[in-house]
Amino acid sequence: MSKCLNKHHCKILQKGLKFTSTPEKCNSQELESDIQKFVRKLRLVEFFDGAEDKDPYLVRNKSDFIPPKNKNAALEKFVSKINNYPRIKCNTNVKPNITKEERKAMRKFADDKSIVIKEADKGGAVVIMDAEKYKHLVNDMLNDAKYYEALQEDPSKGD
């Protein structure tokens, strides 16, 4: 790997890939927005259920269509429960479980698209690789005719 890691990077990696840091701040507006996006997606699935996509265009403008309330009583009951569920108040007394430097290191890892961080196949170690090398190795494995065969059609598309 062509990157150099400092002690804060190493400390974050030692915590493992399943480690979750405490949030920096509580954002109740973001939570509400996420809930409304989720509700919209549920209603879209219900509204367009069974409709075939006959749009010949590959590129479309992003829609902001919000389907009306559905006749599906179960869905509306679920949406009502979500919207009326009491929200947790932001707790300002939560102590961070990582240092500021470790948080910066974690952000740097998340923003760096030139590396791939994965768990090793055996032993549970954390592996960091250059993204291009990783893509090359994956392609080499997939192109190995001994283990993989190219299909003429997509088998997931039913009759």
pLDDT digits (tens, 9 = 90+) for 12-68: 999 988 999 988 777 788 888 899 999 999 988 888 886 766 666 667 778 888 888
- pTM of model > 0.75: no
- pLDDT at residue 99 is higher than 90: yes
Question: What pLDDT does residue 104 have?
Answer: 93
List pLDDT tens digits, range 106-159: 999 989 999 999 998 888 888 899 999 999 999 999 899 899 888 888 887 765
The per-type count for the chain, helices as H runs and strands as E runs, is 5, 2
Cα–Cα distance for residue pair 19/119, rounded to 1 Å = 13
Question: CA-based diameter of the chain, in Å?
Answer: 58
Phi, psi of 104 (to 5 degrees): -65, -40
Question: What pLDDT does residue 50 have?
Answer: 63
Contact between 80 and 109 under an 8 Å Cβ cutoff? The reply is: no
**Sign of the dihedral defined by the CA atoms of residues 27, 32, 34, 35, in that order:** positive
Cα–Cα distance for residue pair 43/27, rounded to 1 Å = 25
- pLDDT at residue 4 is higher than 70: yes
